[in-house]
Chain A
């Protein structure tokens, strides 16, 4: 007996990633952004998502991949989290794929770098590999600086 899961897929620097469809709130095209001074470098800025202020994280920088080249604009994959929505900036958006759990394999022990921390595992598709991201870990970026978080009212 096997279960099937749906993943929202996207590409990043030629790699094929997926996040569970249930975690994804929506996918939207590039939005104008407000940069946040003093923020961690992977925070690209803030976008206005229908009145909600959403932090956009540059997934390339988060995964320590080379920066985006050319003038194509990234897309927002807005994922839900306990702390409200967060946007992940990706190169291109793919289909929603439904995959059998049988195709899952844990990440190889030899995986290094940030990917080791953020990739949950790999699905073996017919023609390529799908890297599944742990969204909670991915958006868990804390700002530098020694100041204690201030409560915001």
Chain B
């Protein structure tokens, strides 16, 4: 049975939730009004928010909230009736008034009473504003709309101006906040259609989490049932298990969706933040938000709220200049701040762009040297991109003076740590004088992540895909020559760069051996499987017994008994119902001393620095053997292989090779792009071969040397300079030709693109 006290608490809880949402809406509409962007309905919406709060508070005996709300309501009523006009003092007073209500509500939430703060000065301000109007509104009889009688302490004193909408006020705060942009887009205004409001209910998040857990269990039970039913002859049972299978999948997706929230939910407060910060600093800033509807898991939404706020404040404080400075620079006085969110490649991208002065790289370097974060010599070596990343170092702040808004030096490093904690990445791009952009990439959800499953010492482990760069398998000769020892520490040469190796079974003490012994042992094994990982900007190779598969796993936390083991980020339940541990790549790297615990970010890794703007493409760079560097998109590459020259055979006039049970043609790229006067060099032995696959057919492109894999924005600088190329681009300060793969294949093997079944690659 619910006691009266519990009921009261429940009602207060509802009041709090509704009122906070309502006040957020109040802020938004207020700002719209200030900009002159409000609709005729805007004053009504604002009024209704306050009216609801006042009514509910009155009903619950919260007299202070009620009386404060009441004063503002009078003013709003006058505003609604056009008796007062919108002016900056009015807007300021009403926003302060909303804050006062918030303060009391918060106090109610935490301390269970309305707080001791004195609002009489604010109330006088509101009353004065109201009195400036020609017709004073009698304060004793607030206009009360009809149809909302439950919490009304007195009968409606006036005929409501807009009776149809006011009835909606009751259900108004139930919907998740729809964004202004979406709202205008859908043609409606903020008075939600009753049908929409009626079709949404509040659900406790714990409840959703519980459901999520249960669905995970159901999936496992389903898997077992389906497995058992496989050999069964009973048609009824088979049909039922199939149906169970389908329904479970749908249910799983459905429950997943319930946890998703549009990012607009946290962006909703930014117009207010921007306005406050900008006016405090005497700047003019226009905020544009794109992609409000981009959905994220609620846990992620929570985690990025503070970092985003910080970045936004920073952008206004440090990025956007004051009006005078902007005018001097030939820019419009009003600065632009653009928030953009979009999905890309299973991740959510958030960009915060401003058109301010950009980051002053010289100052950044100076500051970093002053603070002792880098040495003068180090700073001199840093590229602009690397220097920009200095702002993420702990204890760094470029602000000339510490303002109230930002610049306490606890900023960007905390932002970075928080974002990395949820498996995201943050990057800054700056164009001096024209603005800077902070880019954040975060996973869609923390609950379910893609992971690579590996086996080591007989146990399975999951490696989150975000830290995974590539997989390397060394067979036969390669494994003996590939892994070298550096004072007992194994390393591997990956495309000319030394990659430190660590053995998972040794790190986790699954075998009592040293890395050196294991490296020696691996020469005896059939093959060495290496997972190339990135942690804190460093790459390293993790040697495992077996690489199994990639899977979407449900992340579950470990109990406190195991929290101290930095190598694990959690655990998950595999398809067979057994538990597997999730590796924490950064923790593992620290455990293996690959990255020191004190983050040394002074020399950001190239790979990280390369992540810049635009339409990026991952390219495989190679030397074709004709002394020019060439590139092909990595997406076209199936595998990179080495073949001894002696394994090349001939079929007709075509060079072929046996590869994984197929006979594939070999094409010497150098022959097809030969320049006049430069004879093709002798090919190395073993030959470096790029396996290219399309429509189930493969072809091997023989190249001189594989150089690197880079991510670059491709802008063709020069059109095709010779046959076999699409054009030239500059990659890493070197002219690189883009290989026209299809032209070369067509020239070498006209049958490759024909429709009839492959004869060579059958």
A contact set with B: CB distance below 8 Å: 32-40, 43, 45-48, 50-55, 57, 83-84, 86, 139-145, 147-153
- With a cutoff of 8 Å between Cβ atoms, the chain A residues found around residue B299 in the complex are 153
A34-B579, A48-B577, A153-B446 given; A55·B564 CB < 8 A: no
Nearest CB of chain B from residue A42's CB, rounded to whole Å: 8
Contact A143–B562 (Cβ < 8 Å) = yes
Pair B564/A149 contact, Cβ less than 8 Å: yes
Stretch at the interface among B147-155, B222-230, B552-560: B552-560
Q: Which residues of B contact A (CB under 8 A)?
A: 213-214, 216-217, 220, 299, 303, 421-423, 446, 457, 459, 508-510, 555-571, 573, 577-581, 584, 586-587, 590-591, 597
17 A-B interface contacts by CB (under 8 A): A32-B578, A34-B578, A34-B581, A38-B567, A46-B579, A48-B578, A51-B213, A54-B559, A142-B560, A142-B564, A147-B564, A147-B591, A149-B566, A152-B563, A152-B569, A152-B584, A153-B423
- A42 to B299 Cα, complex, angstroms: 33
Contact of A36 among B217, B555, B581, B584 (CB under 8 A): B581
User: Given contacts A38-B508, A47-B579, A48-B579, is CB(A150)–CB(B569) below 8 Å?
Assistant: yes
- CB-based nearest A residue for B584: A150
CB-based contact A151/B421 at 8 Å:
yes
> Which residues of B have CB within 8 Å of A53?
556-559, 571, 573, 579
The 5 closest A-B pairs by CB, nearest first: A37-B508, A143-B564, A147-B566, A51-B217, A55-B559
Q: CA of A39 to CA of B563 in the docked complex: distance in angstroms?
A: 9
Pairwise interchain contact B558-A51, C-beta atoms closer than 8 A: no
Cβ of A37 and Cβ of B509 under 8 Å apart? yes
The majority secondary structure among interface residues of chain B is: mixed
A37 to B566: give the CA distance in the assembly, Å.
Answer: 11
Given contacts A37-B459, A43-B561, A150-B563, 7 further A-B pairs with CB under 8 A are: A38-B567, A51-B220, A53-B558, A147-B597, A148-B564, A149-B566, A153-B446
List of A residues within 8 angstroms of B577 by Cβ: 32, 48
Beta-carbon contact of A147 and B561 below 8 Å: no
CB-contact partner of B566 in A39, A40, A145, under 8 A: A145
A87 → B minimal CB distance (Å): 10
Cβ contact within 8 Å between A86 and B559: yes
Across the interface, name the chain B residue whose C-beta is closest to A55.
B559
CB distance from A7 to the nearest CB of B (A): 24
Give complex CA distance A142, B567 in Å.
15
Q: How far does the Cβ of A52 sit from chain B's closest Cβ, in whole Å? A: 7
A39 to B584 Cα, complex, angstroms: 15
Docked pose: A142 CA to B220 CA in angstroms: 31
Q: Are A150 and B587 in contact (CB under 8 A)?
A: yes
In the complex, the answer to whether B423 meets A39 with C-beta atoms within 8 Å is: no
Q: How far is the CB of B242 from chain A (nearest CB, A)?
A: 23
In the complex, are the beta carbons of B563 and A141 less than 8 A apart? Answer: no
Residue of B nearest to A141 (CB): B561
Cα distance, A87 to B559, chains bound together (Å): 11
Chain A, Cβ-Cβ closest to B423: A153
Which residues from B are CB-within-8-Å of A32? 577-578
Residues of A near B562 (CB, < 8 A) are 36, 39, 43, 55, 143
Distance in angstroms between the alpha carbons of A152 and B569 in the assembled complex: 6
Nearest to A86 among chain B residues (CB) is B559
Closest beta carbon of chain A to B66's beta carbon, Å: 39
The residues of B that contact A36 with a CB separation of less than 8 Å are: 562, 565, 568, 581
Instruction: Report yes or no: A38 in contact with B559, Cβ–Cβ below 8 A.
Output: no
Cβ distance B37 to chain A, nearest Cβ, rounded Å: 38
Shortest distance from the beta carbon of B98 to any chain A beta carbon, whole Å: 33
Residues of A within 8 A of B457 (CB): 37
**Alpha-carbon distance between A43 and B432 when the two chains are bound, in angstroms:** 56
A142 touches B561 (CB 8 A): yes
